[in-house]
Chains A and B, each alone.
Chain A
Amino acid sequence: MSFFKDLDLRKLGMQLLVASIITLSVSAIGMVELFGGRFVITGLFTMAQILFLGPTAFFAYRAAQEAPAGKKWLGLLKALLLGVGVGIVMFTFVWLAQNFDVRSVFINISPRLINILSFEHAGGATTLFLALVGSALAGGALALVPDKLRKALLLGASITLLVGLLSEILAERLRSLFSSQLSSAIIASKALQVIPATVLFVLVSAISYLRQSGRIGTGKIGPDLKPSQAKIVRTALISLLLLVLPMLLGSYLTEVTNNIGLFFLMGLGLNIVVGLAGLLDLGYVAFFAIGAYTMAALTSTGHLGVAGISFWVALPICVAVAALAGFILGMPVLRMRGDYLAIVTLGFGEIIRILALSDLMKPYIGGAQGILNIPKPTVGDLALIRPEQMYYVILIGVAIAMFMSTRVRDSQIGRRWMAMREDEDVAEAMGINLVNTKLLAFTIGAGFSGLAGAIFASKLGSIFPHSFNLLISINVLSLIIVGGLGSIPGTLVGAIILVGLPELLREFAEFRWLAYGVLLVTMMLSRPEGFIPSETIKRELHAGDEAAEQAG
């Protein structure tokens, strides 16, 4: 009986069910069909194939991993069973779709979809079955591979896949930086060629494997550098890279980077309010709007402009106005905690947006028509019009905000925020003035957001109330949570993933937002502390694990 116990059929059944449902869903909602012709590696496999084979491989891997130690072959058996199971489901699905017309209900289950699923040839249902079993076995086999090698292989595969997905943008870059011959040698019809893909995969896997074994590049740059010197070299290299980045990236990618930068800036501010001080603010977009509208009113050359001053003079004023708004909002909510605070700030965010739309404010800030003719920043006689020029303005803003964030976090003020986040009463007993501490968090956080808003207004040249909806607040909150609450590098990673990737993956149309949702849910389930968590949050979420480890 222990054989069946080790097999854990109940759990396996559940995994089989989930894998089948995911595979059926991606087919039935039209994702597979959309990507049927989208090769990731030219002539070898398409995006669609990854979609309908991937889930099976993943769950087979999970199932195989759970096999008891010492009976690893059982893992392969589990993977095989799972593959056969999903295979039967999909075989039946294709057979049903071929023989009955279900399109009146499921409009996406088209002959084209069936063609893709059956690998474009008659009798392909059997091929599909075999392919599913094959990917399940591959997934299962991966679980048997030693840890280091598996990590290396997975990293290699993910990087290759990512490059394959972004190959169109990459091809354009290669063309303009090097030559079109090189570009088409590596990338053809939106996909990686087979040979470069293989080279990339092998290279990434090999480097990753060797690094893990400690044979190369264990953090040391040169042989004779002290850690402090190494740090200087590293900082210098990063600064240099950041300075030349727009030239490497070209207009489009720089524009994406600029958006990431602005959201990173907002994230840094919200990180202080939510991550350090623990005050859940859902109306953060309000300060962004206030910064943007202040910039617009002060600098616009249109009929709504009031001062006509230059960007650089207006910038500190915008930050000050937003910070003041943060201070003012802070006062009535001083005594609120948690959920109540979230609701009040949510309301504040909406008030600002509706005020911007209202007839009351229309004579000053233009109502739904917004404010137009906001000039770009100028340096001497040069107007910073192109994204590559705007990039430096944002870079400076981000650099200042990062410097301030780090210094404040490590100072006595940062301590105060953390103490307050943990326990307000004890913090007060410790000699911490809660009123000042809360107001300071709101004020500094709002100031960062105002800075982002001011640059945003100037970058766009015109602003409208609908740019400042609730979704921005939610997006900024999501990015600091996905990145890792309270962590500055985490905020950057969050901004890249939640702002940068959706922009780069435009060809995925509305499915981008599906992926976005899936990512958020999976993140919260499997890695709630975020990609690069701060120490405290990591401890908090994994305190149970450690205790269990110590006990076991």
Chain B
Amino acid sequence: MAMLEVNNIHTYYDKIHALKGVSLHVDQGEIVTLIGGNGAGKTTTLRTISGLLKPREGSVKLNGEDLSKYPAHELVYKGVSMVPEGRGVFAKLTVEENIEMGAYIDNDKARIEHNKEGAFTRFPRLKERRKQVAGTLSGGEQQMLAIARALMAQPKLLLLDEPSMGLAPILVDGIFDTIKEINKEGTTVLLVEQNASMALAIAHRGYVLQTGEIVLSDKADKLAKNETVQKAYLGID
């Protein structure tokens, strides 16, 4: 059984029909990517999965349990963490405070400390800057911080919204390496990206979203070779 199962969801912004029956699934241990152009509904899909938006039709199930009855903030308790688009770090808090905030649902001090050390080992840059205010970090460092913070809740499923947005190419490589590493350590990842070539390079499977509908889905390497995908998203003629 799939870990995350999204079944025919229709989401609206008032009268605008943003998702027209999106279905996808993510299996335990996978990296699945959702690619598509601007306005295709990638972020809307992610926000619907995380409960920030409610679908008018269809269901989102995690290990068979319907998620739509839970408000967004309870999803963390179900093992789903999200890194929002545009990073969304607490700009006025320090790096360390941001990371601690990620362990908000955890009451075990020792475990929090252990996870914090883990985060600092994974991102030595953050350790150097633990007392610095998050708003003064560079874009790449803020993205690292947002990921480190999401991991503090020890999620089973990590939802990433455009982690490469606004980053220099060299930093993008680093972030994607980290995602791969996190996945190897046992966290399932659903990755929404505009940077299709990078996303497909690390993902196991991928979905292509166009104006609110899934138009293609396949193994990542096959999608990368698909002519339509190459033309539309990879810039290869």
Contact B72 A428 (CB under 8 A): yes
Q: Which chain A residues border B89 with CB–CB below 8 Å?
A: 426
Alpha-carbon distance A57/B100, docked complex (angstroms):
50
Whether B55 sits at the interface, judged by CB under 8 Å, is no
What residue in chain B is nearest A431 (Cβ atoms)?
A: B76
Contact B73 A432 (CB under 8 A): yes
Whether B50 sits at the interface, judged by CB under 8 Å, is yes
Q: Which chain A residues border B150 with CB–CB below 8 Å?
A: 429
Q: Which chain B residues border A433 with CB–CB below 8 Å?
A: 71, 73-74
Contact B73 A431 (CB under 8 A): yes
16 additional contacts (CB under 8 A) given A428-B73, A431-B73? A412-B104, A415-B104, A422-B92, A422-B93, A425-B88, A428-B72, A429-B50, A429-B73, A429-B81, A429-B82, A431-B76, A433-B73, A434-B73, A540-B133, A543-B133, A543-B136
Minimum CB–CB distance from A477 to chain B (whole Å) comes to: 20
A422-B93, A536-B93 are contacts. A431–B105 as well, Cβ < 8 Å? yes
Within 8 A of B (CB), among A509-552: 536, 539-540, 543, 546-547
Contact B71 A418 (CB under 8 A): no
Whether B84 sits at the interface, judged by CB under 8 Å, is yes
Minimum CB–CB distance from B206 to chain A (whole Å) comes to: 24
Whether A430 sits at the interface, judged by CB under 8 Å, is yes
Contact B104 A418 (CB under 8 A): no
Alpha-carbon distance A122/B74, docked complex (angstroms):
83
What residue in chain A is nearest B75 (Cβ atoms)?
A: A431
A429-B72, A431-B76 are contacts. A547–B84 as well, Cβ < 8 Å? no
Q: Which chain A residues border B104 with CB–CB below 8 Å?
A: 412, 415-416, 419, 430-432
Alpha-carbon distance A412/B105, docked complex (angstroms):
9
Alpha-carbon distance A546/B132, docked complex (angstroms):
10
A430-B102, A431-B105 are contacts. A422–B77 as well, Cβ < 8 Å? no
Within 8 A of B (CB), among A377-418: 412, 415-416, 418
Alpha-carbon distance A540/B91, docked complex (angstroms):
9
Within 8 A of B (CB), among A299-316: none
Q: Which chain B residues border A426 with CB–CB below 8 Å?
A: 84, 88-90
A430 in complex: contacting residue of B52, B101, B136, CB < 8 Å: B101
Within 8 A of B (CB), among A271-298: none
Alpha-carbon distance A49/B101, docked complex (angstroms):
56
Whether B153 sits at the interface, judged by CB under 8 Å, is yes
Contact A431 B153 (CB under 8 A): yes
Whether A423 sits at the interface, judged by CB under 8 Å, is yes
Interface centre among A429, A434, A540 (most CB of B within 10 A): A429
* A–B pairs, 10, beta carbons within 8 Å: A415-B101, A422-B92, A423-B88, A425-B52, A428-B52, A428-B73, A429-B52, A429-B76, A429-B81, A431-B75
User: Looking at chain A's contact residues, is the secondary structure mostly helix, strand, loop, or mixed?
Assistant: helix
Minimum CB–CB distance from A52 to chain B (whole Å) comes to: 43
6 closest A-B pairs by beta carbon, nearest first, are A431-B76, A422-B90, A426-B88, A431-B105, A540-B92, A433-B73
Minimum CB–CB distance from A422 to chain B (whole Å) comes to: 4
Within 8 A of A (CB), among B105-150: 105, 133, 135-136, 149-150
Alpha-carbon distance A500/B65, docked complex (angstroms):
60
Minimum CB–CB distance from A87 to chain B (whole Å) comes to: 47
Alpha-carbon distance A536/B82, docked complex (angstroms):
25
What residue in chain B is nearest A537 (Cβ atoms)?
A: B92
Contact B88 A547 (CB under 8 A): no
Contact A536 B92 (CB under 8 A): yes
Alpha-carbon distance A415/B149, docked complex (angstroms):
15
Alpha-carbon distance A322/B187, docked complex (angstroms):
47
Minimum CB–CB distance from B128 to chain A (whole Å) comes to: 14
Alpha-carbon distance A402/B88, docked complex (angstroms):
33
A422-B90, A422-B93 are contacts. A431–B136 as well, Cβ < 8 Å? no
Minimum CB–CB distance from A235 to chain B (whole Å) comes to: 26
Within 8 A of B (CB), among A413-453: 415-416, 418-419, 422-423, 425-426, 428-434
B93 in complex: contacting residue of A412, A418, A546, A547, CB < 8 Å: A418
Q: Which chain A residues border B101 with CB–CB below 8 Å?
A: 415, 419, 430
Q: Which chain A residues border B73 with CB–CB below 8 Å?
A: 428-434
Q: Which chain A residues border B92 with CB–CB below 8 Å?
A: 422, 536, 539-540, 543
Within 8 A of A (CB), among B50-84: 50, 52, 71-77, 81-82, 84
Minimum CB–CB distance from B150 to chain A (whole Å) comes to: 8
Minimum CB–CB distance from A337 to chain B (whole Å) comes to: 16
Within 8 A of B (CB), among A56-106: none
Contact A430 B133 (CB under 8 A): no
A423 in complex: contacting residue of B52, B82, B90, CB < 8 Å: B90
Within 8 A of B (CB), among A256-283: none
Alpha-carbon distance A429/B149, docked complex (angstroms):
11
Alpha-carbon distance A545/B136, docked complex (angstroms):
12
Task: Write the B28-50 contact mask toward A (1 if CB under 8 angstroms, else 0).
Answer: 00000000000000000000001
Q: Which chain A residues border B84 with CB–CB below 8 Å?
A: 425-426, 429
Interface centre among A425, A428, A431, A433 (most CB of B within 10 A): A431
A416-B104, A543-B136 are contacts. A430–B76 as well, Cβ < 8 Å? yes
What residue in chain A is nearest B105 (Cβ atoms)?
A: A431
Q: Which chain B residues border A429 with CB–CB below 8 Å?
A: 50, 52, 72-73, 76, 81-82, 84, 88, 150
Alpha-carbon distance A540/B135, docked complex (angstroms):
9
Alpha-carbon distance A429/B81, docked complex (angstroms):
7
Q: Which chain A residues border B52 with CB–CB below 8 Å?
A: 425, 428-429
Minimum CB–CB distance from A486 to chain B (whole Å) comes to: 11
Minimum CB–CB distance from B195 to chain A (whole Å) comes to: 22
What residue in chain A is nearest B51 (Cβ atoms)?
A: A428
Alpha-carbon distance A543/B93, docked complex (angstroms):
11
What residue in chain B is nearest A547 (Cβ atoms)?
A: B136
Contact A422 B91 (CB under 8 A): yes
Q: Which chain B residues border A434 with CB–CB below 8 Å?
A: 73
What residue in chain B is nearest A416 (Cβ atoms)?
A: B104
Contact A543 B88 (CB under 8 A): no
